């Protein structure tokens, strides 16, 4: 079953932009579509604007801008756009992520221009009206902009969060229990350690007295912290720390030469000589030959399908 992910319609090649064009992303339509069931939306079309159409822009207050036509500020779409955005944002419970079009006055997440009376953009960047409504309604939902997905680290982080979000939703559908939450946390141990070693310990302490809390409340608090920490970018330093921990599970079953080889490759990763996929591959090879039940359930070794090749460039 594919994971449902929202996306700005133009990124799928749909000709919905103001000029009748699109912003086709092959990453989305050809690669991610193998695992994501994209739910496309164009807010401008959603409020009844034509294709093609005069472009719109944001003006005024950065936090609550007006949506107006570029050629005539008296043509105001603010009420329509706000209502559409707020209504639509409440209908996204089945999504596990969202990819927005960059710079868009409706869909941009970062650095969206909000123009002032002097004709220049405000010093502080704004956010697209629709993107802001979605992010406020679903604060834990993994979101990213199309342009930022060109960065290998940001791309890998976003996909990791989408799959984590999906895995948690699957767990909730099966029915939360104290045992299920603790097992889920155990499987994400090294993922969390790669993103925030300190917070992994904090989450462990939270679950240590799990039975003293309402299971639904505990699950909500745990998931909030999980998604918050996974949004932090893992570094070569924290990945190296995790790789060394995983290597420790093999110390009693490998020869001195094999252990030396792994240590060398991990250090090559630390010093940016090889990408993350190299030490991961050799560790998986050894764990295949020497299975460990605890390591076998670790999401870190494969947080998403291998053929996405996300660790080849980080």
Q: Can you give the pLDDT at residue 156?
A: 98
Q: Can you give the pLDDT at residue 198?
A: 80
Q: Can you give the pLDDT at residue 1?
A: 85
Q: Can you give the pLDDT at residue 203?
A: 87
Rounded CA-CA distance 2/161 in Å is: 15
Q: Can you give the pLDDT at residue 122?
A: 95
Rounded CA-CA distance 132/154 in Å is: 20
Phi, psi for 115 (deg, rounded to 5): -80, 145
Rounded CA-CA distance 32/26 in Å is: 9
Q: How far is CA 203 from CA 182, 218, 264, in A?
A: 10, 11, 32
Q: Which two tokens stand for residue 120?
A: 């220049």
Report, as ranges of residue numbers, the positions in the chain whose pLDDT lies below 70.
Answer: none
Strands of 94-133, DSSP E = 98-100, 114-115
Q: Can you give the pLDDT at residue 157?
A: 98
Angle at 58 between CA 57 and CA 61, to 5 degrees: 170
Q: How far is CA 237 from CA 244, 248, 272, 282, in A?
A: 11, 17, 11, 19
Q: Count of CB atoms within 10 A of residue 269's CB?
A: 21
Q: Which two tokens stand for residue 179?
A: 């045992």
Q: Does the global pTM surpass 0.85?
A: yes
Rounded CA-CA distance 234/10 in Å is: 30
Q: Can you give the pLDDT at residue 36?
A: 98
Rounded CA-CA distance 222/262 in Å is: 34
Q: Name which of 290, 289, 177, 288 is nearest 302 in CA terms.
A: 288
Q: Can you give the pLDDT at residue 192?
A: 95
Task: Kindly provide the b/e burial profile for residues 296-313, where b requires at least 16 CB atoms within 10 angstroms of the residue's own CB.
Answer: eebbbbebbeeebebbee
Which three-class secondary structure state does DSSP give residue 8? Answer: strand
Q: Name which of 283, 273, 205 is nearest 242 in CA terms.
A: 283
- Write out pLDDT tens, residues 13-38: 999 999 999 999 999 999 999 999 99
Which three-class secondary structure state does DSSP give residue 50? Answer: coil
């Amino acid at each position: 079953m594919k994971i449902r992910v929202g996306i700005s319609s133009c990124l799928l090649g749909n000709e919905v932009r103001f000029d009748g064009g699109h912003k086709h992303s092959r990453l989305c339509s050809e690669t991610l579509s193998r695992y994501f069931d994209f739910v496309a939306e164009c807010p401008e079309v959603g409020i009844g604007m034509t294709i093609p159409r005069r472009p719109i822009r944001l003006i005024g207050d950065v936090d609550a801008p007006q949506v107006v036509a570029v050629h005539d500020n008296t043509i105001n779409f603010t009420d329509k756009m706000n209502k559409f955005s707020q209504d639509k944002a409440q209908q996204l419970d089945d999504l596990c992520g969202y990819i927005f079009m960059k710079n868009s006055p409706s869909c941009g997440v970062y650095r969206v221009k909000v123009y002032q009376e002097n004709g220049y953009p405000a010093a502080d960047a704004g956010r697209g009206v629709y993107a802001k409504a979605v992010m406020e309604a679903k604060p834990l939902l993994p979101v990213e902009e199309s342009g930022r997905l060109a960065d290998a680290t940001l791309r890998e982080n976003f996909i990791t969060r989408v799959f984590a979000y999906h895995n948690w939703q699957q767990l909730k559908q099966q029915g939360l229990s104290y045992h299920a939450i603790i097992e889920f946390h155990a499987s994400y141990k090294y993922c969390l350690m790669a993103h925030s070693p300190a917070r992994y310990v904090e989450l462990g302490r939270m679950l240590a007295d799990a039975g003293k809390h309402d299971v639904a409340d505990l699950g909500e608090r745990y998931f909030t912290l999980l998604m918050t920490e996974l949004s932090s970018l893992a570094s070569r330093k924290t990945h190296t720390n995790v790789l060394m921990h995983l290597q420790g599970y093999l110390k009693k079953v490998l020869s001195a030469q094999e252990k030396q080889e792994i240590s060398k490759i991990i250090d090559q990763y630390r010093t940016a000589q090889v990408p993350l996929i190299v030490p991961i591959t050799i560790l998986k090879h050894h764990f295949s030959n020497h299975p460990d039940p605890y390591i076998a359930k670790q999401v870190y070794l494969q947080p998403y399908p291998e053929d996405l090749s996300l660790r080849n460039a980080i």
